[in-house]
Amino acid sequence: TAALLTGGLVPLASFAGPKPQSSDSPNTARLKRLHMLVAWTSLVSELTAIMYATIARNVLLEAAVPHTHSLKELLLRGEYALAWTGVNSHFLFGLLGFVSTVSLNAWLSFGCNCAGGRIGPALACGASSALLLMLSVVNSAVGKGDAQSVQHLPSLGLFQRYAFLLLAEVFVRRKMLIGIAIALSAVAVVQGA
C-alpha cells in the first residue's frame, strides 16, 4: 500500500505538481509552496515506511526472535518497537500528506472563481472529508492497541512514541546517523517554512 501511495506521490512532488508563477497572488504562491513541501515530505515518509517494513521483515526471517508472550509485546515494547512504530507513523503521515496534496491540488487547479464553478471547493472538501475519516479510523485502531496513547487523539500518541524511540536510538544507543537525519529534518522544516 505504501508503494502504491509512493507511485502517486512521485508526480505530485515533481513534474505534475503546481509550479509557482510570477503572476501568483501571495496566497496562491504560499499554497503552491505548501503543496510541494507536503508532497515531498509525504513521498519521503512513504519511502521510509517501505524501508522500515522491508528491513524488519528480513530481520524477522533471518534472525532468532526472542521469546515473548505475544506478538503485541514484541512489536510495541520489544526489539521491533522502533520498526513497528516507524512503519505506522510514516505510513500514516505519508497517507495524510497525500490526501492533503490532492486537496491542495484541487483547490489550486480549480479554485472558487473559475469556469469550473464550485468544483475546486467541492473536491477539496471531499478530500478533506476522506482525510478526517482516515484519521478517525487510525485513532480508533491505535486507541485499542496502545493504552498509553494520547486520550483524545491516539495517532498523536503513535507519533510521540516514534519520536521517543528515535531519540532513544540517538542518545542511548549512540546511533549518530539517526541524529543527523533528525537534524536535517529540522533544517528542512525551517527552510521550507
Contact 19, 32 (CB under 8 A): yes
Residue 115 CA to residue 64 CA, distance in Å, equals 62
What pLDDT is attached to residue 150? 45
The answer, yes or no, to whether residue 116 has pLDDT greater than 80, is no
- pLDDT tens across 124-182, in order? 888 889 888 988 888 787 766 654 544 545 677 788 889 999 999 999 988 899 999 98
- pLDDT tens across 30-70, in order? 888 888 888 888 889 989 999 999 998 888 888 877 777 77
What pLDDT is attached to residue 193? 67
Question: Across the chain, how many H-helices and E-strands are there?
Answer: 7, 0
How would you label 93-130 residue by residue, b for 16+ Cβ within 10 Å and e otherwise? bbbbbbbbbbbbbbbbebbeeeeeeeebeebbeebbee
Nearest 5°: the CA angle 146, 97, 82 is 35
Residue 80 CA to residue 86 CA, distance in Å, equals 10
What pLDDT is attached to residue 113? 57
Q: Between the CA of residue 171 and those of 3, 84, 164, 179, 184, what are the distances in Å?
A: 31, 20, 10, 8, 17
Residue 119 CA to residue 133 CA, distance in Å, equals 21
* Identity of the amino acid at 172: V
Helix (H, G, I), strand (E, B) or coil at 114: strand
Sorting pLDDT into bands at 50, 70 and 90, what band is 110? Answer: confident
Work out the average pLDDT over 106-118. Answer: 69
The DSSP bridge partners found for residue 117 are: 114
